[in-house]
Structure 1
Amino acid sequence: MNTVTRLNPEVHAEYRWRNRLHTAVLAGGSLCLLALCAFTIAGPEGVLWAAIGGGISLYAAVRLSPRMVLGLYNARPLTVGVFPDGHRILEALSARAGLGRPPKLYIVHSRMMNAFSIGRRDDSVVCVTDGLIRGLSMREFTGVVAHEMAHIVHEDIRVMALSDVVSRMTSVMSFFGLFLALFNLPQLAQGGHGVPWIGIMVLILAPTLGTLLQLALSRTREFDADLTAVELTGDPEGLSLALVKLEKAQGRMWEAMMPGARIPDPSILRSHPKTDERVKRIMSLKKKPEPWIDVDGWPHIAGKSLVPATGKPRRRLGGMGVWY
Structure 2
Amino acid sequence: MAIDSQIWHQHALANRIQSLLLLVAMVSFLSLLGWVLWGVDGIFWLLLLGFVLLLFNPVSSPWLIMRMYRATRLTSVKAPTLDSTLRELAHRAGLHRVPELFYVPSPMVNAFTVGSRNEAVIAVTDGLLRSLDTRETVGVLAHEVSHIRNNDMWVMGMADLFSRLTSLLSLLGQFLLLLNLPLIVMSNVSINWFAILLLIFAPNLSALAQLGLSRTREYEADLSAARLTGDPEGLANALVKIEQRSGSLLERLFLPGRRIPEPSLLRTHPPTKERVRRLMALKPPIAEPLSFIRRERGFLQDDAPVYLVSRRPRWHVTGLWH
With normalisation by structure 2, the TM-score equals 0.88
User: Displacement, 1:310?
Assistant: 5.1
1:49 pairs with one of 42, 45, 49: 45
Gaps of 5+ in 1: none
Contact preservation (8 Å) 1:62, 1:157: no
Q: Does 1:131 align with 2:131?
A: no
The residue type paired with residue 131 of structure 2 is: G
Separation in 2, partners of 1:285, 1:261: 28
Question: CA 1:28 to 1:154, structure 2 compared with 1: closer, same or farther past 3 Å?
Answer: same
Q: Does 1:70 align with 2:69?
A: no
Contact preservation (8 Å) 2:230, 2:284: no
Question: CA 1:288 to 1:153, structure 2 compared with 1: closer, same or farther past 3 Å?
Answer: closer
With normalisation by structure 1, the TM-score equals 0.88
Instruction: Name the SS of the counterpart of 1:229 in structure 2.
Output: helix
1:245 pairs with one of 241, 245, 255: 241
User: Displacement, 1:6?
Assistant: 2.6
Could you list the per-position Cα deviations for residues 113-139 of structure 1 after superposition, in whole angstroms to 9, with x for gaps in the alignment?
Answer: 111112233221111111111111010
User: Displacement, 1:303?
Assistant: 7.0
For residues 1-324 of structure 1, what are the structure 2 equivalents within 5 Å? Answer: 6-61=2-57, 63-186=59-182, 193-252=189-248, 255=251, 263=258, 267-288=264-285, 292-296=289-293, 300-301=297-298, 306-309=304-307, 312-313=310-311, 315=314, 317-318=316-317, 320=319, 323-324=321-322
Separation in 2, partners of 1:194, 1:217: 37
Separation in 2, partners of 1:207, 1:254: 36
Contact preservation (8 Å) 2:135, 2:294: no
Separation in 1, partners of 2:231, 2:284: 10
Could you list the per-position Cα deviations for residues 164-191 of structure 1 after superposition, in whole angstroms to 9, with x for gaps in the alignment?
Answer: 0111111111112322443354467569
Instruction: Name the SS of the counterpart of 1:268 in structure 2.
Output: helix
Question: CA 1:224 to 1:99, structure 2 compared with 1: closer, same or farther past 3 Å?
Answer: same
Contact preservation (8 Å) 2:129, 2:137: yes
User: Displacement, 1:299?
Assistant: 8.6
Separation in 1, partners of 2:52, 2:109: 35
Separation in 1, partners of 2:284, 2:205: 39
Separation in 2, partners of 1:99, 1:188: 58
Separation in 2, partners of 1:323, 1:214: 22
Separation in 2, partners of 1:69, 1:292: 33
Aligned residues: 318
Separation in 1, partners of 2:298, 2:208: 41
Question: CA 1:145 to 1:61, structure 2 compared with 1: closer, same or farther past 3 Å?
Answer: farther
Greater mean alpha carbon deviation, residues 44-53 or residues 79-88: 44-53
Separation in 1, partners of 2:265, 2:317: 29
Separation in 1, partners of 2:51, 2:308: 43
Determine what percentage of the aligned residue pairs are the same residue. 37
Question: Higher relative contact order by CA 8 Å / sep ≥ 6: 1 or 2?
Answer: 2
Gaps of 5+ in 2: none
Could you list the per-position Cα deviations for residues 187-240 of structure 1 after superposition, in whole angstroms to 9, with x for gaps in the alignment?
Answer: 675695333332121111101100100000000000000000000000011000
Contact preservation (8 Å) 1:233, 1:292: yes
User: Displacement, 1:292?
Assistant: 1.1
Contact preservation (8 Å) 1:66, 1:118: yes
Root mean square deviation of aligned Cα: 2.8
